[in-house]
Each structure stands twice: as structure tokens, then as C-alpha cells.
Amino acid sequence: MMTSRRNFIKKASAAGAAVMAAPAFFGQRASAAPLKEKDAATPFKLKYAPGFGMFHNHAGNNILDNIKFCHDMGFRAMFDNGLMNRPAADQVKLTDGLRNLGMDFGPFVLYADFGVTSFVLNKPEVREMLIKKVNEGVEVCKRTGAKLALMVPGRYDENLHRDFQTANVIDNLRYCCDIAEAGGMTIVLEPLNTLHDHPGLFLNGIPQAYSICRAVNRPSCKIVEDIYHQQITEGNLIPNIEAAWSEIAAFHCGDNPGRDEPTTGEINYKNVFKFIYDLKYDGVICMEHGVSGGNTKEAEARVIQAYRECDDFEL
């Protein structure tokens, strides 16, 4: 145990040095003020949530080492899209590790099959499949304490009018919500862009997701707003967040183009984060993006520096 602990301290120390040095590795960004040692441990204003493995060059592959590293860097949440695919013991280890450090956990993926029509159909076999999935998600929630389960309504049907498909999605979600609410779970719907990443999907916009949540009219049916996807689909980010605020339960982020860390694309994340903060948001912002500088310690350090820059807004 002592050897493991000493090794981790060495990793964390090296990470702190890399974070402080990060601007020097990135040409035009070198003018950014280096982080002071105390800043590495200062909690961010919002709960930005790295994915497990995002900082593997610093923290290795151990679940608990990853959690500890992220906490030491000031993050107060993490996310794991693949939680349901982990062995039950690892699910518990992961969420217990977060809980022990007072960290939050973002939505896990419950259902996201991009290749089939599902929610848009009024068919018993589809409903049975969805109900089975939600029951599985509830078991994960009971085991881990995770509360937000992400669902994507699948592809649209070219042979059925879109309004009928919308009605079917609403009906299917009500069946799912009956089970989710009984198990203490909230379903979060994710609209995805169809212009670049996911052509053919039914749910692609925040106004569309908002109208569906309002029609379902259940506290267990909300939205996860993916800022990257919505910049591509519709832009108008801050006004749409404000308009849909009552139905948003979580966020994903990533810059556009490229889907890498904030500051690498066109989105003014400092302003977006400040707006969310001013709305008293206390949930998770999942860092669902790549690392622009590649698979190196320096590139990982630059990701942390980018969030420090965007989190440096006036209160």
C-alpha cells in the first residue's frame, strides 16, 4: 500500500509541474498566465467532469488513482459513459471512490443505439426492449447511487410522418418514466447533431427535446445539453439554454470544430460557463471531448489549463 501511495504522489507531483508548465508547449497560447502551485488544488467554480482515462498519462489506468488525480487538479465530478458495461464490483468501486472525496457523477449511457429505429415506433417489442433497458439502469442506480441515465431515441423512420414519431417517442418515454421514477432514476435525453456526427437520428435540437420533455411532463424526463452538438445543429447557445432551463439536468461540452477541449474552437466557453454559473447550476458538465495535443502529458496538462482559463470568469 505504501509503495502504491508513494508512486501516486510522484505522479501527482509530476502532473502539477506539467500543468504549471502547460502554456509553454502551446505556441500562441504561451501568453496565458502559468498556474501557481496552489491553483492546481483549487476547486473549479463549476463541476467539470473528466472521463475516466482522460489523464491516463498522469494517473495511469487505476480507477481510484484517476479519481484522486482529478480531485487534486480541482475537479469535483467525473463521468463514465460505459458504467453499465463495467463489472458490478468496479461500478461500486468507482462511485464509492467519488463519494469518498465529495465528488459528483455525470450521466451514464443507458441506451444509445444509433443504427435502429426504436422510440419513434409504436410497437410492443420496442416498448418491451426499452422497459428492459430501464429496469437494468435502475439496478445500476441502486447499486451505485448514480441518478442520471442517458438515452438517445434512435433513428427517425422515413416511412412515418415526423409528428406521429414524436407522439410515439412521448408515449414510450412515459412507460420508461414509470419505471425510472419508482427506482429513483432520471432519464436524460441527448439531442445529437445530424450534420456531422450522427446523420439520421430523430432527436437533434434543444427546442425539440424541450417540447418532448414538456409533453412527457414527468420529473424523471430531462435533457442533457451537449454544447458541442448544439453549436453545430443550431448555435444560439445561451438563449436556448435559458429557454430550456427548466428541463436541463446536465451538460456535455467540447469545442467546435474538432470536438476537443474548450479554447480550441469557436465557442466562447468562458461566457457560456459564466451564464450557467449565474443560473446557480450545481450539476455536472461532462468533458466529452478529445485532447487536442495528442496522447502526451503536456497535452493533458493543456486541457486542465484550458478549463482554468474558461473558469476564470468574474463573479
Cα–Cα nearest to 111, from 49, 176, 47, 17: 176
CA distance 260 to 262: 7
State which H helix or E strand residue 248 sits in.
strand 248-253
Q: Which of 225, 247, 261, 288 is catalytic?
A: 288
d(CA 93, CA 249) in angstroms, rounded, equals 25
Sign of the CA dihedral running 294, 292, 225, 273:
positive
Phi, psi of 54 (to 5 degrees): -60, -35
> CA-CA distances (angstroms) from residue 218 to 35, 148, 151, 174, 244?
44, 14, 15, 8, 15
| 190 part of the active site | yes
Tell me how crowded residue 197 is: count the other CB atoms within 10 A of its CB.
13
The DSSP symbol for 79 reads B
**Residues 71, 104: contact at Cβ < 8 Å?**
no
Q: How many residues does the chain have?
A: 315
The amino acid at residue 290 is G
* C-beta separation of 298 from 22 below 8 A: yes
In the block, which residue shows the cell 469545442?
255
- Which residues partner with 253 through β-bridges? 287
Q: Is 288 a catalytic residue?
A: yes
Catalogue the active-site residues.
Answer: 190, 288
